[in-house]
Structure 1
Amino acid sequence: MDTPNDNKLRYLLDRCLSGQETAEERAELDGYFESKQSQELLDAKILDAFYQEKKLVDIAPEKQEQILQAIYALEQIDRPIRKINYWKWAGVAALFLFILMPFLIDKTTITKHEWTLTDTASKHETQQKIVEGPAHSEDLLPAQEEAVLEMADGTRIALANLAAGKTFEREGVTMERSIDGSLVLRFLSDLKGNQRFANHIHTIRTPRGGTYKVVLSDGTIVHLNADSKLSFPTTFTADERRVTFEGEAYFDVAKDKKRQFIVVSGSGKQQQELRVYGTAFNLSAYPEEESVRTTLIEGSVKVKSVYAGVELFLKPNEEALLGTGGLTKDVADLDATLAWKNNVFYFADEPIEKVMSQISRWYDVDILYQGPVPTDKFWGQISRNKKLPELLEIVERMSKLKFDIRGKEVYILD
């Protein structure tokens, strides 16, 4: 068996000791423990873990208990009886604690930013936050609940500034910011005498460094990830509920047997039409990505390539990819797909360029490479609540990368 690299070994230990591993991952880790070629690396990692000068006082008692239970659970697996090297697993436990240290520190308190908003502002201006002087690295916080509602008449509303529980109406849309911070929309149910609003399209945008939850008039809930936009009409028609989308979002579609919920996303050869009646799915459709990814959580959906006219149906735990190779279907990794919604960065053999793309959107920073883009793959799970310098420090420890933060630019050093 080949010797594993450092990051993959850490990943396998994390998965197995947290009880989230697949049968293949457990077999792979067992193989490394039984392989003479891997013994030197494993011993080095175990010794390294024991000699780390890190205190465990920041780990809450309940977290310590969870870790111990995960270790004890290793011996409860139904498999052939064999002699257990307890000293080896004790070392693994120490390494596991060392790996978890960055993830178990108290969460950072999040503050709000204001937005520059005017009725006559350009699209570019609506994406700019008010900044007094250059940004300092310690100020680069994770994404917060921020979004702008762009009405059809050009009005722009900073949703984070709306008072909770207050309602107002404009362009045939009644808006209310609920106590939990989400925006609840109610459209005109009767457009007689109000035909000037019938074909009006409104858009909710989250910036880089912003997320938001929207409840549409039919009860559909949309969780918007950073740098996303959702466009919808003043009122849905009698036979369908059609929206357009760009970015990433989790849709929990309200059931309506008479009206399909249709999401149009992508462009050109990567434009797709997604049809559902009532279901839950994750949709990733960033323009800069190689493909549009639709992951079904529950229910059923039909995905159609607008360019090629090809269609396919998804069952729960399946995903559709629409890219240069056409429309294909595969088994989904729900842990990875829903990590952003669960406030976690989840990287499993992920190219560095994609890792940094996620970080760029989440912290609203630009990534600059001083040399060629590294070809290394990255393994790890990190809380999204951390400030940017804290997160990059963890990435440095788990990879060969070195970073330099200059204002709102992050340089990857050659």
Structure 2
Amino acid sequence: MNNNEPYVEPLTPQEAEEDWLAIIARIRAHEVKKRKRKISRFVSAIAASILLLIGTIITYRIYVLPDIYFAKDNDLAITLKDNSHITLSKGAKLTVYKTFPSDTRDVFLEGNAVFTVSKSKEHPFIVHAGSYEAKVLGTVFKVVQTGATFNVDLYEGKVQVSNSTKPTESYIIQPKETFSNMGSNQVATVAPTVHDDFKKKEMSATLAFTDFYLQDALKIIERTYRVKIIFPADRATSKISILSKDAMVDQLMENISIQLNLNIKKTNVNTFKLEE
């Protein structure tokens, strides 16, 4: 052994164990710090993802998700971006997409509502209700939906009503007129709007239906013109087609009698009788 080298006294077993434990403690502390850094990065990534998701949801709700108005317990008054005013009847729902207003001002209605539409010749206002559309440029009207029955009562302006199942057909209604499908997609009627003081004097109406049973067609005519029609019971299921525009009831009944090869009598001002 070189006498110039310093003498290092060997560790006792206890000192060696304490040093080893210290080394282990440092290693563990280092591992804990590494895990904390990993957890911190993971938590940061999760937080960023959550913030991104929340931002996406908020953006979707603000810029994409349609506005839905629901008159739950009472009538609900709404003013749209184009300054059109709508009153939803109790139980009605209106859906308006964020694109409103655009080239066409489309709204989607379930139930009944009164519309006061701001005028715009360049941007028609279209109410979608089931398979029906009511298209206007500026007007006041009421849409009533009861079961399968679809009605439009017009107060001011002009409305064009169409059915998506019959795209080639449309009907123009004027103030104080009502469009009705009488509970069937196969029927279209335009007649004066009925009020408590309604007078039937020289009333005309537009009716259209194809291959209808006579008994069903005559019920519609009775409801439209508020008359009574008597007909042979054995002809109840005879098929009839009608397309009449602005026709008086006398003229319409004459056309029906010719179509069915029946005679017609007017027993009084409100009663018609079809017979062999």
More strand by share: 2
- TM-score tier by shorter-chain length is 0.3 to 0.5
Structure 1 or 2, whichever has the larger Rg, is 2
Return the structure number with greater relative CO, CA threshold 8 A, min gap 6.
1
TM-score by length of 1: 0.31
TM-score by length of 2: 0.46
